[in-house]
Amino acid sequence: MKFYARQIAEVLNGHVDGNPDAEVTTLSKIEEGKPGSISFLANKAYTNYIYDTRADIVVVNEDFVPEKPIHTTLIRVKDAYSAFTALLEMYQQAKAQQPGISENASIAETATLGKNVYIGDFVVIGAHTSIGDNCRIYAHTVVGANCSVGEHTTLFAGVNIYDESVIGSRCILHAGVVVGSDGFGFAPQDDKTYKKIPQIGNVIIEDDVEIGANTTLDRATLGSTIIRKGVKLDNLIQIAHNVEIGENTVIAAQSGISGSTKIGKNCVIAGQVGIVGHLKIVDGTTITAQSGVTKSPKKPGMMIGGSPAFDHIDFQKSSVHFKRLNELVNRVNQLERQLKSMEEQE
């Protein structure tokens, strides 16, 4: 698909500095620019590449002043980074236009499909499940019975959605995501064995949520595990039964949230964080990487870290002493020996 500089400038609310009929078919990094591609310059550290790039079009800030001759067409915009992000979204949407239903898909007679959907090879859609308009469901994905998927949602290859799950609109679930698998519930018995506790709840994912590859969300024991609108989950995250994650919270890879913990709005949870069950993480909390959270933060907007986690500033101060712990122990031992020697001389 071809795009012309004048078309792109119109979409980005910018103006062309150069050839308005310059055409591109793909995108590239400015340092790897090639003919037929469009790139962008937002970081001054990459300015030197603009003089040699082979990209036919480069998006720049409107106040960019070249210090040497430039051979490419410029599109000047207010914010080059934001404009190029919008361009990436347009490009991705254009690539994704594959309406149609594969003959190899298995769709229950009682399932309902919206308009302009794409259903790939070997997709399975269960009984009484509804798929919204403009959804894209890629190969080998399974959507169980009595589920609903909102409009403009994308399920990439190999996603597994168990029965009774609810997925909102404009969501993106990447390859290998599992929604609605059983929560980890087992009752210890007198003979030291464990009896499985039935998990009969479901998972609700609200609108505009993105979930990374191979992340798992367990169904509730009773009620619902809930992911509120705007949440962004990275790859390889475990969300246990009856967890609730508040609006616009982001969680990085390899973190795990134990059962029945409630996470507030606008929280930031870094990679490899572990949170024990039944806590309440208040709005705006930031948790630093590899922290182990065992108590609920008391004040909204706190930054905590460490294991067990506590106030991040205090943790940073303590970490200075952690590094010197062996030295401090040796000094204490030396002082004790000196004190003992002085006592013996008295």
Indicate whether 210 pLDDT > 80: yes
The 3-state DSSP class for residue 54 equals coil
Distances 206 to 135, 245, 275 between C-alpha atoms, Å? 15, 11, 22
Average pLDDT, the chain: 94
* Confidence band, pLDDT 50/70/90 cuts, at residue 95: low
pTM more than 0.85 = no
Under 8 Å between Cβ of 110 and 127: yes
* Beta pairing partners, 175: none
Q: Which range, of 48-62, 84-98, 218-232, averages the lowest pLDDT? A: 84-98
Which tokens hold the place of 221? 């024991």
pLDDT of residue 311: 79
* Confidence band, pLDDT 50/70/90 cuts, at residue 342: confident
* Confidence band, pLDDT 50/70/90 cuts, at residue 313: confident
* Confidence band, pLDDT 50/70/90 cuts, at residue 307: confident
pLDDT tens, residue by residue, 151-165: 999 999 999 999 999
Indicate whether 1 pLDDT > 80: no
Q: What share of the chain in percent tops pLDDT 90?
A: 83
Under 8 Å between Cβ of 50 and 66: yes
pLDDT tens, residue by residue, 31-84: 999 999 999 999 999 999 999 999 999 999 999 999 999 999 999 999 999 999
Distance of CA 310 to the CA centre of its chain: 25
Round to whole Å and give the CA distance between 321 and 327. 10
Is 241 part of the annotated catalytic residue set? yes
pLDDT of residue 309: 80
Whose structure tokens read 């009484």? 128
Distances 211 to 93, 156, 188, 260 between C-alpha atoms, Å? 18, 11, 33, 20
How many residues in total does the chain contain? 346
Sheet containing 274-275: which strands, arranged edge to edge?
A: 106-107, 124-125, 142-143, 160-161, 178-181, 216-218, 238-239, 256-257, 274-275, 292-293
The active-site residue out of 174, 241, 312, 321 is: 241
Distances 337 to 333, 343, 344, 345 between C-alpha atoms, Å? 6, 10, 11, 12
Task: Decide which of 155 and 328 is more confident.
Answer: 155
Indicate whether 320 pLDDT > 80: no
* Confidence band, pLDDT 50/70/90 cuts, at residue 315: confident
pLDDT of residue 98: 65
pLDDT of residue 319: 74
